[in-house]
Structures are given as structure tokens and as C-alpha cells.
Amino acid sequence: MKSSGIGGQAVLEGVMMKNKKNYAVAVRKPDGEIAVEKGESSSVIEKYKFLGVPVVRGVVSFVESLVLGVKMLTSSAAYFDDAEEQPGKFELWLRKKFGEKADKFIMGCTVFLSVVLAVAIFMLLPLLIVSFISEDVISYEWKTLIEGLLRVAIFLGYVFMISRLKDIKRVFMYHGAEHKTINCIEQGMAPTVQNVRECSRLHKRCGTSFLLFVMIISVIFFLLVRVKTLWLRFVVRILFVPVIAGVSYEFIKLAGSSESKVVAVLSKPGLWLQGLTTKEPDDDMIEVAVASVEAVFDWQAYLDENFGSKAKKTKKATKEKSVKAPVVTEAEPELAAAEAKKPVEKPMKKTAKKEVVAEEKVPVKKEEKVEKAKPEKTVTKKEEKEEKPPIQEVEEVAAKFDWSFPSTKKQEPDEAEAKESRSRLAAKVSAADKAEEAGKSAVKNTKPVGRVEEDEEEEDEILRALDKFFVFEGEGTVMERSGNNK
């Protein structure tokens, strides 16, 4: 994981993100809208370079982070204050006394009281409890170890108790959203809700880990610095707080950018503690964290610089996941289109589809595909006659008997002329049949009975066709068609 340098903090119904001197706080307002406020917070290290040396810079960064954190908590709480609530007398007095600087004065007092209480509870209280144990019972070293264990126990108990509060639970959920968003970017993924949800809510550079390391490192310092007098021990505890904080800051900074196995092992206690101070956020909280980080950090440039093609593939895959429609490749456009229309059926269909794809390499005409797809249908002679168009039926009869017709057309004759023509045709056919039977008696005797029946069927067929489409006038035969004569 490559460090992005982004820091953050959970606030009331929101997340604050800081990148170098720029910061942004995003808050989910009561109406559901996300409000984003941007600002700049320059460090005194930029003005006084000597404050940037190791350990000292940790103390400065800790104080500045504490001041900015209190400011952002106050800013986020303003979205949920009752507009009709009137300021108290003390607040009115402060505003009258300090004017525009009243807010800064209140902020400074809040930070100062927070530090004093933290030192008193987590540094001096354990020493006071252990001081009642005489050194005749246990040695100085064992008393210092017990003091350190008691300090850690008080800190863990405090975190556990506040994590049970309803409002703090939501703050811890936003804390988890902050961690997951930073982890998402530092793992080379675009900060979308889906990508952020898949990331861990634990981070090595978390402030919770920092405070735990302050407790652990203090044990080492107080073992090395031996003080016999009790009141001097209290003084040493207070004076060493900035030094311990500076050393803890350097270790947290190293843990955030190092892939060393030793550092990973030493970071485990802080990650375990984050199981209490972070909770899994919902999608609305993730959206707030993403809005906050996008306001202060160009994650696109960061991914391109540190991950290159890997980041591009990740972003491409993210876009493809958001598209639910099937993607049609160029190699199988027809198969994909058919599959989209085709309902899901038995597994046998899939086997048939694979066979069709394998045979696509051999060019096959469309007519052949149709013949394979549709089984041949047996058509009887009667159905064949009914399916043929009338004009096609007449042309087949004409070709069979070698008849030819003039191209002229004539209007449909009346019913009397049609009956007379049919009578003459029937007489001619009967006379021709009698002449043929009289002249070829030998051939007639040898002809099978089935052949005679076929000839009769052909004659009936001819008569029916001629009756529909032909009119006879004298010796000429004219073909009858619908429409006007040409």
C-alpha cells in the first residue's frame, strides 16, 4: 500500500479529510443533502523550519490536529443546532469581551481542557494508584510495569464505554467510512461506493493507534527514567508527554508507509483497538466520505502516478461492474443476440449452441441452415394442387400437353357462351377418345387398369383448369385473365 498522505477525522454525521494544508468537511444534513465546506489550515512548521525536525514535528502535528478536529466538530454540530436556541449568558459575555475572536478563545480553552483531562486521567491517575503500594512489597520496575498496564486498561475501558453510546456509535461508523475510503485509494481503486465497501476499515495511521502507542511507549520511557521522589515522578510524567507523543507520531508515520513485517507486527495492537473505534458504515456514510476526499485530493492523478496501468484496469473493471447489460463481443454478435432473445431452457440447449459456434468456421448458405433447422414436410398430391396458384396450375397443364395461347386478353363472356364452349370442348374430347379407342384397340388391351384411371384423372384436371381460366370461341382458344384487355 502506497501512502497518499491523506488524514481524516469523523465528525457529527460527517467526515473531515485533510491533504497537506487543504481540508474539507462533508456533513449529511437533516434533509439528506451533503454539505461540503473547504478551507486551508497552514502549519507553523512552514513558517518555522526548526519545528519540522523528527519528534518535534510530531508534537506540533498532534496539537494542530487536535485544534482542527475540535473546530470541525463544532462546525458539523452547527448543522443540527436549533435555530431558535438563544446563546447563554457566558457565551454572550465572551462575545462581548473578545468580539470576533470569541470562537478562537473558546476553541483554545476546549483544546487546553481536553489535554489537561487526558494527562490527568491516563498519566497521573495510574501513578497515583500505584503510589499506594510500598516499594518494600514490589520493586520500582514492577510498580512501573503495573502503572503502564493500569494506564492501558483505563484507556481501553474508556474507549469501550463510549463506544456503547448511540451517538458515538454513529461517529465510529463515519470513522470506519473515513478509513475505508483512504484504504480504497491507497490500494489503487477509484473511490466509488462499491469499491470503498470492499476495503478494510482498519488503517495503520489511525489516531486510535497513535494514542495506544503513547500508552505503550510511556512504559518504556518511565522504566528508563528512574525518579525516587513521588512529586518528581508527577513532574516527569507531565514533561515527557510531548516527547512520548512525538515518538509515537514518528512510529505511526513509518507504519503508514512501510511494508516491513516487523512494523506490521508492532502495528497489530493499534489495529485490534480500531475494532472498537470503527464500525462498518452504510452506503450513505460512504458517500459522505467520498465527497469529502474528492474535495481535497486528486485521486485520479494519484492512481495514475503510483499504479499506472493497474489503476486503469481497476477503473475499467469498476465501470463494467456498474453495467448490468450483457456485453456483445465482435466474434459472436449473432450468437449473443440470439441468446438474449432466447429464454433459459434445459442444459441440452447449451450443448447445441456450442456445436453451432464450432461450425461457424465453415461457410454455410442460409438456405442450408433453414433446411437443417426445419424438418422436411411430406406434402400429398391433393395438398400440392391446392397450394399452387391458379395461373401456375394452368401453365403446367399447357406445358404438359404442348399447348400455346395467344397473348391477347378478352373481357369475361356471359354465362351462356361459357356453357356452350364447355359443351363443345366436352364433345371434342369425347370424340377424340372414341377415335383413339377404335384405332388402337391392341394398345388399349395391354394398358394397365391403373393407367386408365390416371388418364381419366388428368382429363378431369384439364377440364377443371380450362373451365376456370379458358373460354372457347369457334376454333380459337383465348386465355382468360383478370383485368382490362391490352
Residue 108's pLDDT is 81
CB atoms within 10 A of CB 350: 11
Q: Which residues contact 306 (CB under 8 A, 6 or more apart)?
A: 2, 188
Residue 178's pLDDT is 95
Q: Which residues contact 121 (CB under 8 A, 6 or more apart)?
A: 154, 158
Q: Are 59 and 3 in contact (CB under 8 A)?
A: no
Residue 106's pLDDT is 79
As averages over each run of 10 residues, the pLDDT of the chain (486 residues) reads: 81 92 93 92 87 90 89 86 63 76 79 89 92 84 91 91 89 95 93 94 89 89 86 91 91 82 87 92 95 93 83 51 38 43 44 40 43 46 49 61 50 60 72 70 49 64 65 48 43
**Considering only CA atoms, which of 292, 157, 273 is closest in space to residue 204?**
273
* 23 phi, psi to nearest 5 deg: -140, 160
Residues 338, 350: Cα–Cα separation, whole Å: 12
Q: Looking at residue 32, what DSSP letter applies?
A: S
Residues 351, 370: Cα–Cα separation, whole Å: 19
Residue 470's pLDDT is 55
pTM score: 0.61
pLDDT per position as a tens digit, 73-103? 888 888 886 555 566 677 777 777 777 777 7
Residue 157's pLDDT is 92
At how many degrees (to 10) do helices 333-341 and 347-358 cross? 160
Residues 403, 462: Cα–Cα separation, whole Å: 12
Residues 29, 80: Cα–Cα separation, whole Å: 8
Residue 288's pLDDT is 95
**Considering only CA atoms, which of 176, 172, 148 is closest in space to residue 160?**
172
Residue 84's pLDDT is 52
Residues 408, 9: Cα–Cα separation, whole Å: 100
**Considering only CA atoms, which of 389, 384, 412 is closest in space to residue 479?**
412
Residue 323's pLDDT is 38
Residue 75's pLDDT is 86
Residues 201, 274: Cα–Cα separation, whole Å: 8
At how many degrees (to 10) do helices 166-186 and 283-294 cross? 50
Residues 445, 438: Cα–Cα separation, whole Å: 11
